[in-house]
Amino acid sequence: MNKELLSGISIGGMQSYGSIAAFPLFTPVRAEALQYITMSEAIEKKLIKIEEVSESGSVPELRVVNTSPVPVLMLSGEEVKGAKQNRILNTSILLAALTSVIIPVSCTESGRWRYNSPDFKDSGNISSADVRRTANESVHESLDAGMGFRSDQAQVWNQIERLHMRSGSNATSKTRAMNDAFKVRHDDLEEALANFNIITGQKGILFIFAGKVAGP
């Protein structure tokens, strides 16, 4: 199916805003062959539970329990908020139906290590390109060293600090949460999103920023 999927991908017309361009992706592969729900859908419908691995917690790991009868797609860079500190996924995971697994994550809130909720909710954020690139590069280095999907947490925090500086949240974020940087730029982000629309039959999207591929 993977060969059929890749060979059948076609690209639609460009949508743009400032330095950002987006191209919808289409594939003729049957919809039933790709059945899954997204992490945000699963959380909203209470079909998955994301929680600390224990009462004391572990920064680079979380437990996910999927009670859905279909797989749940969790994307690299997606952020969850709550429990002892906010996290992002270190890799994309298609979580099988009715399973419980430990997933690799990175902290996106260096100033908090205490519970504010028993489990996690969807923050609605995907990590910025710089934060995601830094996490991905260090995860690849960790894999090459045979140490699993671990990120360099210090480098991730450094990139989040740079994000605070660019977003103007440096003086107001009490727990250094990446989410605070997104909140400050909420209106700007909403204005940008208004320029990109989902096309009927669209299966994916390719983003270009300043002339370079920024991600799917």
Q: What pLDDT, on a 0 to 100 scale, did the predictor assign at position 2?
A: 60
| DSSP string across 115-181 | -SSSSEEEEEEE--HHHHHHHHHHHHHHHHTT--S---HHHHHHHHHHHHHHHT-TTT-SS-BHHHH
The whole-angstrom separation of Cα 150 and Cα 199 is 36
Residue 63 tokens, joined: 């437990």
The whole-angstrom separation of Cα 186 and Cα 166 is 14
Binning pLDDT at 50, 70 and 90, where does residue 31 land?
A: low
Binning pLDDT at 50, 70 and 90, where does residue 125 land?
A: very high
The whole-angstrom separation of Cα 101 and Cα 181 is 30
Could you read off the pLDDT of 170-208 as tens digits, one per residue? Answer: 999 999 999 999 999 999 999 999 999 999 989 889 999
Instruction: Say if residue 70's pLDDT is above 80.
Output: yes
- % residues pLDDT > 90 (the chain): 86
Domain boundaries, the chain: 1-34+199-216, 35-184
Number of Cβ atoms within 10 Å of the Cβ of 47: 18
Instruction: Say if residue 103's pLDDT is above 90.
Output: yes
Residue 170 tokens, joined: 């440096």
Could you read off the pLDDT of 152-175 as tens digits, one per residue? Answer: 999 999 999 999 999 999 999 999
- Which pTM does this prediction carry? 0.88
The H or E element containing residue 101 is strand 99-107
Q: Cβ(90)–Cβ(106) under 8 Å?
A: yes
